[in-house]
Every structure is written in structure tokens, then in C-alpha cells.
Structure 1
Amino acid sequence: MYNLNRVFPLLFLLISMKTVCQETEPRVHTLVDNFHGNGSVVVGPNGNVFVNEYGTANPDISGNGKRIFTVSPKGKVNVISNSVSGAVGNAIDSDGNYYFNNGSSYLSSDFMQFKNNKIRKIATLEGFSGDILIDADNNGLFYITNYTLPVIRKVYINGSVEDFIKDEKVKGATGITYGPDNIIFISNFTTGKIYRVNVDKNLEELASIPVVYPGYVIGYITYFENYLYATGYGSNKIYRISMKGEVKEFAGSGNYQTKDGIASKASFVTPNGIDVDVKNRRLYISQNGNGKPASLRYIDLN
């Protein structure tokens, strides 16, 4: 016969431990609901979040979105431009100048700068461009991925263009970010693979995100405190990847819905853009919404 005086305290301890474990998980929040910013995300120096409206895809894979939004940490939305064309990828420099690609078609994209409320074209790039990485020395050099061609390009502020990497592994690439020691990481939207660029500019596979929906695997990637974070576009999850290549489901139940709460129980709708607010320790995530307005989400990293 069981000693109930021993069993009940043990049950209470197990339940308490489970509750504590759940509560120590990061929490997912909705910052802006019914939001049309469904593309790439970057956090500016003042904590405002820049989000492109890629919109929905035309037959030539260009988006029909026209706007670029800024969102304050408290959720105030402003439109800084309504005259772009399916903007893809983004970056912001230390002076607050904003860069993006006008996704004209799968044949070419225009690399643009938004400065002093004016937009100017820096260069036209063959193929459909992806995300943008500003060179670590902030010397007017950018690295840009390409979805339709197997190339990563170096683009200079004066408009000159040269190939940085040519490799079939990066055909379908969208995301690009720095990791520790300014090592460049590249993610492939179609295959779910993440590559490290070594000192010889060769690609080393770091990890592979689970393929739930073939061809639609990783939206974008970002880096924070020894981990990469990737949006699982097809799985409706957020993944955390160690520098050893260990992949962990960081947030999202996999259910196709917008639901806040602790990370393992929360849900996403085709999460896409991602960037970290280092100062406020927030991980911001846009949702594609598959043609419908979705939400701008964030995860507390405290």
C-alpha cells in the first residue's frame, strides 16, 4: 500500500517543476495585428522596426506590395514609402539610411537606398535578389543574396557590382547575416540549409532545417548571442541553431494560426522576416499570411 504522505508531496513537486519549466520559456507576443508588412525585418538604431510589404507573388515571383513600414516598440505604425515594388531584403546603416531591393521580376532587381525621405537606385542586379548584409567595416559595401541565380554579390555604394560567391548551393538563398567574429552565414529558402562562409570564401554546411513544405523552408535568419535564429516558413516554427549546427525548435507549435503565449504553445502563420533588437532583447518576426494581412510578432529573449 502506498504511503500517501510521501506520494502527495512528490506529485506536488512534479507539477511545480513542470509549471516552472513552462514559465521560464520565452513568450511570444503580437505587437501589431492585421498588418500588411509581410516581408523582411530589420531593427533600426532607435529601436524602430522596418518591415517591407512584399505582398503576394505575381506570376514572375515579384511581389505586388507597395509599402515600407516602421513600427515603434510600442506598436505605432508609420508608412515611410508607398511607392516601392514588392520590396525584398533590407538593411539599415549606423546613420539610419535604409536599403532594400525592388523585386522587379525574376529577371532583375533594383538595389535601392532610402535616405532623407528620398529613394535612389544604386544598382540593377540580374536575377531576383534576397536579403542584404552591410559590410562589417561599414565602408559602403553590401552583400546580397539571389533567389534565382547561384551567386552572392558584392555591391558598392557607387553602384559597382562583383561576384562574391558563385555556387549552386546558394541558388534559392534568401537570408544572410553575420555570426561571431563577422563570419557570414547564408540560408537557402528552398532547401532549408544554412552555410558558413570560410576564409577561402567556400561554403561549409552548418545545419539543415526540417523540410515540412518542400521548396518553402527558411524565410530569413539573424544572429544573437552565439545562436542563429531562422523562421520556419513552411513549418510555422522558429528555430535556434548553435554554432555547432545543433537545431532546436525554439518557438511555435506548428499550428497555422496566430496565437501568443509561451514559446512551445504559441503559433505562427508562415513566419518570414526576423531580426533582433539587441538593446531590448526582442526577436521580431513578420508573417507572410499567404496573401492576407497577418501580424508582427516578437519573442522576449530575457
Structure 2
Amino acid sequence: MKLVNRIMFGLIITVGLMLVYSITDEYYRSREIVDIAAEKLENQEYQDLISAAYYDETPVFEQTVTQNDKEFLVLIYQAAHITDTTNGLLVLEGFQLLVVQKSGEMLPEYFDVLVSADSDVEVSYTGFNLYNLGLYSAFDPDTQGSLFLRNYFEKDDVFQTITHITFSKDEVEIFDIEVELTESLYTLKTPLDNYINEYDEVPLTDIDGVSYNAPIIINVRDKVTRNVVIYLVVVLTSYYLLFIRQRKTLGRDKMSEGLKKDVDKLNNAKDSDISA
């Protein structure tokens, strides 16, 4: 039984250690992201909130939308990723949507975004409110990608001009934006392809016509280590009290008054039997 208890204790401790590590890591990373995003919003450095590695800092679309008591600044940027394929480095370009709420009650944490183009082309995305900061964007629910990729809006290999972006929740429209995002607005692929062809690697700095978005490095190792150490101290103390100290003190504690009376009765009964 003691062995089983120790095995169960060990399993609980292992699961607890994993939870302490993951919860601490996620909490402090999320808090750091919130602080960075809040600072960028306050300074109106919206281009720094683009999630793609490459972008043009000048938005291709910018419009203020008023809906009842709500006011939104809608921004659309050119953006691109570079992915490594069996055929070499491939540039994937698209549009990045950012919506900054200026006033009014915030939208739900998640909502629907429908992007419509000519020739009845429609692509559905999931909109989200980043940590309830009033900063909204959208992602592809299948790939988790945040760009309106160019190839999604091609029909018979011809790009179809994007004309509308509709926000809705539970099939109730929140607001609709009329846009005109044409093929001519895509200007990132050519300079990126030229750089790759010349250097056979991806650019890690700004190049002519393309801005580079360096990844944010968040180091929470010291905080994770601190919480893990605290957890292990608590665990070792609990182990000592449950399995070591308990064994050492077993039978050494003073008897309670009730137990003492029971023992006296047994001794008296034993003495009576002997006398008889």
C-alpha cells in the first residue's frame, strides 16, 4: 500500500510540474504580448502589429468606420511570408487586416469575417479580439494563417478584385466595408524573389520596397525557473511530512486521555485474570 501511495504521489507531482511550467510560461508570454501591443496602439505604430515577416508600411486601405456608438479604424497592409518547399523558397503574398477600435463597446472575442471578390469568390475567416485590447484581425480557421492570401482569390488563375469585407456574429452583420483590392497592389513578391535568386536565402532586414518584421523574442525562463523551484520546495516538504516524518514518529506520540483509559482497563482486566 505504501508503494502504491508513493507511485500515485509521484504521478501527481509530475503532472503538477508540467502544469506549473506551462501555465507560468503561457501567462508571462501573454502578458508581455499584451504590454507590447498596448504600447504600439498608444503610439499608433500600427504597422508593427503586422504578424507577417515582410510588409509594406504604407496601408493599401485606410478608413474610419462608425457603427452606432462604435468607431473603428480599418487598415489593410500588403504582407508576405516566405516558406521553404521541396522546390526552394516560395513567397506567399496577401493582405493583412487590422482593425483598431477607437470608441464604444468592444466586439466579441471571436466573430466571422467574410471576404468577397469578383466572380462570386468568397473566403471565410475567423475574426478575433486580441486579448480584449480592441485590436482585431482575422485568421484562416484551417491553416491559422492571418493573411488574405493572393491565391485564395484566384479563379482560373486570374486574380479577382476583393470588393467587400463583412463582419458578423451569429449571422447578424456588425458592419460591412467596401474595398477595391486589385492585383496591382501586390508589390512585395518581385523584390523578395529577386533577393532570393541573388543570395539564395531570405532577407533578415529591410530591402528596397519591403520592410522586415523581426520576430519578437520573449524570455520568461527566469520566471519559469522561480515558480518551478517554489513548487519543488513545496513538494519535497510534503513528501517529508507524509512519508518520512510520519514513519519516524509512528507510535511515539503521547496517548490521548481516552486511549489511556482504554489501555488502563485492558491492563486491569489482565491483572484480574492473573490473580484469579
Tell me, yes or no, whether TM beats 0.5. Answer: no
TM-score, normalization by structure 2: 0.24
User: Which has more strand, going by share of residues?
Assistant: 1
Structure with higher Rg: it is 2
TM-score, normalization by structure 1: 0.23
